[in-house]
Homo-oligomer: A and B are copies of this chain.
Amino acid sequence: MGTAGKLERAPGVRAMKPRQIREAASRLFLANGYGAVSMDAIAREAGVSKATIYAHFADKAELFAALVTEECARQWPDIGLLEAEPGDLRETLLALGTVYAELLVSPKVVQTYRMVVAEAPRFPELGRAFYEGGPGLICGKLAAYLARAAAQGKLTLGDARLAAQQFLALLRCEYHLRAVIDLAPAPTPAEIARVAAAATDMFLRAYGR
């Protein structure tokens, strides 16, 4: 590491420019949208020349699609609690509900959602990437979890997938809408907790035993 051979480079420095480009472009696109961001602006923000960008990405559309797709896969963590065997149902739903309701109004997710919605007609792959990396993924896991809980007699349900969609819809609620159309203010943690509790209550009153 200290003595670099002829053909070596420091690992952190290798391919540094591409990373700078990705980060700068990602930041600008998420904040300003596809149409309002120029390649000049990205080059300036990344500290490289425009030609360097074109050495790594065919054109602006490809750069945009690559970055947003990447972002879609990255921002949905922390649903491990749905993998475990169903314990106390209310507790699990409340915990999942709080995490998910919070995530749905977080700046990163809101910005990514805006990009995907705005450009979905012109970049169809973004819609699929967003859905499958986010809402679709969690909905599938929740449905499986609910089906297992039902098999254990912890609740009574007809269609597990529908029930999962309903629970997630209750978490989306008005706060998500207000966040994506920029209607302040953002919900406080207390309001998030209230929404998660209300969703859990309603869900268990409908399907609990």
A residues bordering B, Cβ < 8 Å?
Answer: 31, 33-36, 113-114, 116-122, 124, 126-128, 130-131, 135, 139, 162, 165-166, 168-170, 172-174, 177-178, 180-183, 198-199, 201-202, 205-206
Contact = CB atoms under 8 A, between A and B. Distances in A.
29 contacts: A31-B121, A33-B118, A34-B35, A35-B35, A36-B122, A117-B117, A117-B181, A120-B180, A120-B182, A126-B181, A127-B181, A127-B182, A128-B183, A131-B177, A131-B178, A131-B183, A135-B174, A139-B174, A165-B173, A166-B199, A166-B202, A168-B174, A169-B170, A169-B172, A169-B174, A201-B206, A202-B206, A205-B206, A206-B206
A178 to B, nearest CB: 7
Contacts of A162: 198
A68 to B, nearest CB: 12
A174 to B, nearest CB: 5
A164 to B, nearest CB: 10
B124 A182 contact: yes
Contacts of A201: 206
Top 6 A-B residue pairs of the complex, sorted by shortest distance between their CB atoms: A35-B35, A118-B118, A127-B181, A120-B182, A205-B206, A202-B206
Nearest to A123: B182
Q: Which of A114, A122, A174, A183 is packed against the most chain B CB atoms within 10 Å?
A: A174
Nearest to A172: B169
A113 B113 CA distance: 12
A118 B139 CA distance: 25
